[in-house]
Structure 1
Amino acid sequence: MASTALTAGSLPDGLMALPGVYRPQDDTRLVAEALAQEPLTPGAAVLEIGTGTGALALQAARRGARVTAVDVSWRAVATARLNALRQRLPLRVVYGDFASAATSSRFDLVVSNPPYVPAAVLPMRGPERAWDAGPDGRAVIDRICTSAPALLRPGGVLLLVHSGLCGAQETVERLTARGLVADVTTRTFVPWGPVLRSRRAWLEQQGLTPAAEELEELVVIRAQYL
């Protein structure tokens, strides 16, 4: 979970967020920069998993893509729909789990800033679902890796951002095992935010971070289904 506000100029301005909806931060900015580098032909099919405010989905829609955005939070779905209306951009926003919401389609591009913060308990409701992802932080990441071949068209690309606490190499290996060509394309470090600071002792006990760590590594992974 990054700690500073979004500053990426490539994202639509004037986004709003209903209470309890994850606001774009450094992790969103990183994957937005990666998205800006991907060639998107008009009408390209794009899926965003865990859309939140819809920031990434709207970035793709602004470039002429046909975008489906999925989230398990009704507040996030409402927020993304409102932002699409405010931006006057076409956006299909679906409530539910991505594995069932997008089963009938394949996409040229799948982008996600999923929950990835290690947590003792995997939340079933509340705003924590936007960032807490089980004891190793991989509850959603691993499902995306497993589902990627079914979601992507041949030649399609997955862009995924998460914390180095979750193990970037494990993500690359899981995607490679599923037949994708995967690599870490971006690494950066940001100050720990309030969520990580609040569970420092637990993270140290789990061996997920050294004592007195102050910076969180964020990684963007690009994987192509050939």
Structure 2
Amino acid sequence: MNPLAPPGVYAPQEDTDLLTGALSEEPLTPGARVLDVGTGSGVLALEAARRGTHVTAVDVSWRAVCAARANARLAGLPLRIRQGNLFAPVRGQRFDLILSNPPYVPTPDGGARPSGAARAWDAGGDGRLVLDRICREAPALLRPGGVLLMVHSALSGPDRTLGHLHSAGLMAAVTRRRRIAFGPVLRERAGWLRERGLLASTDDKEELVIVRAEVPV
């Protein structure tokens, strides 16, 4: 099924595909509790639900919430979908797996809060506006043995992500990488990224990474 992704809702792209592949390798048991934070059209949440898990999907965008609900109905799969800012709707709950494809693109006007469709990719001057919050807040929502799977760009500092997660007591590593051609947003920002030293003058591709972090049992 091609998911519905109306204007203003992040349509599945190569980062979604990379995270879907990582999800397919996780040994989820039926009934496992899964959280997809920043669900967008709900594609990742639906992939998890197909494996018999109990999935909660969260997005700050009402358009995304409506799209995810429509896609769940079309797929005939149960999803618990909530509107809210990151983990706010699930405070006090615990999960076996947290999935996230958050905003991670460094943004020239890093001091301005993104709005509209740009909330799906704009992430402050260093690309970590949301990543750092996930690193801080996700560990408390994971059960012993629980796993965080997150995708982001190498431009946004995977080493910093790993450092934060290690400091929180998780075992963390980059488990997948993929180089992809620049999309429209990076093409438009390539000059600025080169000025900041985030891109070499010859770079015409972006590297995506999957970070996997696990709570020790």
Give the TM bin, normalised by the shorter chain. Answer: over 0.9
Aligned length: 214
- In 1, Cα distance between equivalents of 2:85 and 2:29: 27
Deviation at 1:149, TM superposition (A): 1.6
- Residue pairs, 1:16-55, within 5 angstroms: 16-55=4-43
Checking the alignment, whether the CA contact within 8 Å between 2:37 and 2:87 is kept in structure 1 is no
Checking the alignment, whether the CA contact within 8 Å between 2:127 and 2:156 is kept in structure 1 is yes
- Structure 1 window deviating more from structure 2 (93-102 vs 125-134): it is 93-102
Counterpart residue number, 1:147: 137
TM-score, normalised with respect to structure 1: 0.92
Deviation at 1:206, TM superposition (A): 1.8
Deviation at 1:102, TM superposition (A): 1.2
Provide, for residues 113-160 of structure 1, a one-character-per-residue CA deviation record: whole Å limited to 9, x for no partner: 100000023434200000010000011111110012211001000000
Checking the alignment, whether the CA contact within 8 Å between 2:172 and 2:213 is kept in structure 1 is yes
- In 2, Cα distance between equivalents of 1:47 and 1:88: 19
Secondary structure, counterpart of 1:199 in structure 2: helix
Counterpart residue number, 2:166: 176
Q: Of the candidates 36, 42, 46, which is equivalent to residue 58 of structure 1?
A: 46
Secondary structure, counterpart of 1:47 in structure 2: strand
- Identify unmatched segments of 5+ residues in structure 2: none
Counterpart residue number, 2:150: 160
Counterpart residue number, 1:86: 74
- In 2, Cα distance between equivalents of 1:124 and 1:187: 27
- In 1, Cα distance between equivalents of 2:160 and 2:27: 27
1:14 aligned partner, one-letter code: N
Percentage of identical aligned residues: 56
- Residue pairs, 1:194-205, within 5 angstroms: 194-205=184-195
Secondary structure, counterpart of 1:98 in structure 2: coil
- In 2, Cα distance between equivalents of 1:127 and 1:212: 29
- Identify unmatched segments of 5+ residues in structure 1: 1-12
Provide, for residues 141-184 of structure 1, a one-character-per-residue CA deviation record: whole Å limited to 9, x for no partner: 11110012211001000000000001111111110000100000
- In 2, Cα distance between equivalents of 1:20 and 1:133: 16
Counterpart residue number, 2:211: 221
